[in-house]
């Protein structure tokens, strides 16, 4: 690894891209293109601010905090920090994000499944699909130190290749864009909020913590290892990952802008668009894109939550493997409720009030590390009150 820094940067960068590009990310940029139409460029400006720039801020902040999310959050005090970390783990785990991945992936790939029972989305089939999906996630996440290589060398290349084929074919066969019925400013504001719903800042904070931890373990014995070198690799890899994210978002929004005529912003929009572009012979490519997007984020999130359960909740009294099994079992109940119900939780108070608080913490911590800006409790408290009042009203 010492002799191949660029290979390491590419592997980690691809891993970061695939961690952040989950099942929801197949959906949200398509919504931007479909709703923005000819104003898609304005829409993507708003979307990229919240879906790309915010995760980048989280990555940079966590690198400056040496990947220690406890130090990151406990600048607000130990008790508040512990509560926020626990709330974040619930959101990115069994409370919203992993069930969203499971339900959305079932909705998208149900027609491709070889078992007729799973080809319709019902309570029983959703339960069976959740067991299958989370079981495969368990096998892929069982060895934590192999996750970055699995994501960077296998899953991410397959994901990128399948997406590039779909996007390239869509751009090559583009005709007229979907008409826009709103102003560029309204398009920008709507897309800004769509990007907000990805919740990728949370993913970036905890994923970067895991990546830095794994890099430390794998680079610790190499000659010339230093904290500065580790931070530099993390920054370069993060820049590569979010740049790929932005390019794919742009391509997918253009795909929807040109091929979304007569379609609705539903959970199976990607599948419908991909079939329109590739035809039925593209089923393998479509299925690959969906599965790689779903598993990439589920694998990374499961590892983060399992480590938190093992180290914090159970104070090392159980192993990583036992904690991983427990965290995935907790994701099953909500994964059977259906996509619409899970997506509705994204607009709930936990996200509507909590996410602005996470943004405020990230901004204050970044300013603290870069410029010595020490205040954090007052800005975060003000943000919380404003978000709470805005949600209630």
248, 288: one domain: yes
pLDDT greater than 60 at residue 3: no
Q: Of the candidates 21, 3, 12, 26, which has an alpha carbon nearest to the alpha carbon of residue 271?
A: 26
pLDDT digit string, tens, across residues 327-336: 999 999 999 9
How confident is the model at residue 5, as a pLDDT?
67
Using CA atoms, how far residue 50 sits from 109, 118, 234, 267, 381, in Å, is 28, 35, 21, 21, 21
pLDDT digit string, tens, across residues 225-273: 566 777 788 888 888 999 999 999 999 999 999 998 888 887 778 888 8
Q: Is 36 exposed, middle or buried (0-12, 13-18, 19+ CB in 10 A)?
A: buried
128, 151: one domain: yes
Q: Of the candidates 72, 22, 11, which has an alpha carbon nearest to the alpha carbon of residue 51?
A: 22
**pLDDT class of 149 with cuts at 50, 70, 90:** confident
The CATH number of residue 220's host domain is: 1.20.1740.10
The full 3-state SS of the chain, as one line of letters, equals CCCCHHHHHHHHHHHHHHHHCCHHHHHHHHHHHHHHHHHHHHHHHHHHHHHHHHHHHHHHHHHHCCCCHHHHHHHHCHHHHHHHHHHHHHHHHHHCHHHHHHHHHHHHHHHHCCCHHHHCCCHHHHHHHHHHHHHHHHHHHCCHHHHHHHHHHHHHHHHHHHHHHHHHHHHHCCCCCCCCCCCHHHHHHHHHHHHHCCCHHHHHHHHHHHHHHHHHHHHCCCCCCCHHHHHHHHHHHHHHHHHHHHHHHHHHHHHHHHHCCCCCCCCCHHHHHHHHHHCHHHHHHHHHHHHHHHHHHHHHHHHHHHHHHHHHHCCCCCCHHHHHHHHHHHHHHHHCCCHHHHHHHCCCHHHHCHHHHHHHHHHHHHHHHHHCCCCCHHHHHHHHHHHHHHHHC
Using CA atoms, how far residue 49 sits from 54, 285, 365, in Å, is 7, 29, 19
How confident is the model at residue 373, as a pLDDT?
93
pLDDT greater than 80 at residue 219: no
320, 358: one domain: no
Count of structural domains within the chain: 2
Q: Is residue 265 domain-resident?
A: yes
371, 222: one domain: no
How confident is the model at residue 44, as a pLDDT?
95
Task: Work out the average pLDDT over 6-15.
Answer: 84
329, 382: one domain: no
- Most confidently predicted of 5-19, 201-215, 277-291, 370-384: 370-384
- Residue 68 vs residue 280, higher pLDDT: 68
Please state, rounded to an integer, the average pLDDT across all residues of the chain. Answer: 87
122, 220: one domain: yes
Separation CA 333–CA 95 (nearest Å):
10
Q: Is residue 142 domain-resident?
A: yes
Two structure tokens written together for 263: 């379609």
232, 356: one domain: no
User: Which residue, 299, 317, 337, sits at the end of a domain?
Assistant: 337
Express as a percent the part of the chain with pLDDT over 90: 47
Separation CA 246–CA 277 (nearest Å):
21
User: Which residue, 307, 337, 367, sits at the end of a domain?
Assistant: 337
Two structure tokens written together for 106: 């079932």
320, 244: one domain: yes
Asked if 282 and 166 count as a contact pair (C-beta separation under 8 A), the reply is yes
Separation CA 267–CA 45 (nearest Å):
23
pLDDT greater than 90 at residue 129: yes
Phi, psi of 86 (to 5 degrees): -60, -45
How confident is the model at residue 208, as a pLDDT?
85
Q: Is residue 343 domain-resident?
A: no
Q: Of the candidates 339, 23, 19, which has an alpha carbon nearest to the alpha carbon of residue 209?
A: 19
- Backbone angle region of 49, left / alpha / beta, with phi > 0 → left and psi within -120 to 50 → alpha: alpha
214, 250: one domain: yes
How confident is the model at residue 2, as a pLDDT?
47
- The model carries a pTM of 0.88
pLDDT digit string, tens, across residues 55-93: 999 998 998 898 899 999 999 999 999 999 999 999 889
Q: 């890099």: which residue's tokens?
A: 215
Q: Is residue 342 domain-resident?
A: no
CA gyration radius, the chain: 20
127, 258: one domain: yes
Q: Is residue 179 domain-resident?
A: yes
- Residue 119 vs residue 84, higher pLDDT: 84
Q: First and final CA of the chain: distance in angstroms? A: 54
- Residue 181 vs residue 177, higher pLDDT: 177
- Residue 348 vs residue 107, higher pLDDT: 107
352, 330: one domain: no
pLDDT digit string, tens, across residues 295-308: 989 999 999 999 99
Count how many residues are written for the chain: 393
Express as a percent the part of the chain with pLDDT over 70: 95
43, 138: one domain: yes
> How many Cβ atoms are within 10 Å of 239's Cβ, its own excluded?
16
Identify the domain containing residue 110 by its residue range: 5-337
How confident is the model at residue 322, as a pLDDT?
95
């Amino acid at each position: 690894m010492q002799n191949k820094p660029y290979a390491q940067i590419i592997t980690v960068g691809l891993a970061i891209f695939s961690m952040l590009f989950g099942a929801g990310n197949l959906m949200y940029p398509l919504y931007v293109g479909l709703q923005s139409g000819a104003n898609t460029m304005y829409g993507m400006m708003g979307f990229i601010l919240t879906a790309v720039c915010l995760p980048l801020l989280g990555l940079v902040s966590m690198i400056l905090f040496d990947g220690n999310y406890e130090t990151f959050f406990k600048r607000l005090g130990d008790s508040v920090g512990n509560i926020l970390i626990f709330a974040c783990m619930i959101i990115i785990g069994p409370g919203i994000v992993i069930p969203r991945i499971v339900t959305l992936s079932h909705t998208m790939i149900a027609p491709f499944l070889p078992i007729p029972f799973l080809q319709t989305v019902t309570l029983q089939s959703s339960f069976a699909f959740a067991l299958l999906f989370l079981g495969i996630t368990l096998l892929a996440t069982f060895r934590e130190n192999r996750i970055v290589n699995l994501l960077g060398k296998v899953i991410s290349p397959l994901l990128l290749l399948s997406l590039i084929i779909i996007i390239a074919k869509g751009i090559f066969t583009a005709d007229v864009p979907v008409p826009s019925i709103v102003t560029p400013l309204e398009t920008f504001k709507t897309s800004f909020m769509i990007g907000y719903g990805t919740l990728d800042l949370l993913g970036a904070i905890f994923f970067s913590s895991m990546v830095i931890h794994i890099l430390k373990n794998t680079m610790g014995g190499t000659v010339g290892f230093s904290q500065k070198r580790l931070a530099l690799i993390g920054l370069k890899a993060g820049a590569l990952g979010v740049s790929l994210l932005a390019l794919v978002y742009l391509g997918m929004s253009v795909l929807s802008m040109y091929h979304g005529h007569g379609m609705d912003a539903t959970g199976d929009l990607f599948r419908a668009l991909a079939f329109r572009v590739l035809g039925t012979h593209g089923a393998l490519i479509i299925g690959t894109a969906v599965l790689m997007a779903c598993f990439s984020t589920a694998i990374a999130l499961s590892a983060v939550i399992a480590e938190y359960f093992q180290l914090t909740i159970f104070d090392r009294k159980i192993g990583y493997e036992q904690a991983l099994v427990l965290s995935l079992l907790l994701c099953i109940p909500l994964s059977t409720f259906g996509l619409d119900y899970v997506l509705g939780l994204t607009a709930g108070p936990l996200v509507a009030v909590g996410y602005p608080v996470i943004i405020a913490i990230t901004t204050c911590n970044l300013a603290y590390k870069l410029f010595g800006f020490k205040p954090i409790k007052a800005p975060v408290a003000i943000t919380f009150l404003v978000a709470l009042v805005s949600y209630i009203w």
